Structure 1
């Protein structure tokens, strides 16, 4: 049950990342939310396998920090990649004349 809670909280934090990280017009509406939820859930499961207990505080802190950080990293990477791809396409189109 805790995995469900941490995943939902991770999704909400991932959605908040969308409005914090610049360049939200270069990726989809739910990308950061889904990435945040997936990264938070994966971190939670990995920490459980490493011996953390579900009622301990560190598993919550680490999961709810790492998930949004991954979502922010993906959002930043997508923004940079899209800007570079758009600039390259513009250069190719202008140079084709």
Structure 2
């Protein structure tokens, strides 16, 4: 049940990333929180399956740290979207 806390922490950090990272016009508002929540939940699941207990500090710090990996993912997606949009405008002779 505590994995829900990891999902919430990841989503909140993802929301912060959405507003801090550039390229907000290239993505929806839910993308960064979803990526953050998925990363936090995934690392929580892996650590609990590896035998890390609820009393371990590593289990509780991992969602806080791993969720910030959503930033490079969001930056990559924004850069890719801009390049694809530019190529599409060129193809349609709009640019």
**If the length of structure 1 is used for normalisation, what is the TM-score?**
0.87
CA distance in 2 between counterparts of 1:50 and 1:64 reads 19
Q: Deviations over 1:46-68 (max 9, x none)?
A: 01112211221111212221123
Check conservation: 2:9, 2:63, Cα contact below 8 A: no
Check conservation: 2:44, 2:59, Cα contact below 8 A: yes
Q: Does 1:31 align with 2:31?
A: yes
SS in 2 for 1:94: coil
Q: Deviations over 1:61-94 (max 9, x none)?
A: 122211231x212211110111100111122122
CA distance in 2 between counterparts of 1:58 and 1:94 reads 53
Unaligned regions of 5+ residues in structure 2, if any? none
Q: Deviations over 1:29-55 (max 9, x none)?
A: 101111111110111000111221122
Match of 1:85 in 2: 84
Q: What is the count of residue pairs matched by the alignment?
A: 94
CA distance in 2 between counterparts of 1:83 and 1:57 reads 40
How big is the alpha-carbon RMSD for the aligned residues of Structure 1 and Structure 2? 1.5
CA distance in 2 between counterparts of 1:25 and 1:63 reads 27
CA distance in 2 between counterparts of 1:49 and 1:61 reads 16
CA distance in 1 between counterparts of 2:54 and 2:25 reads 37
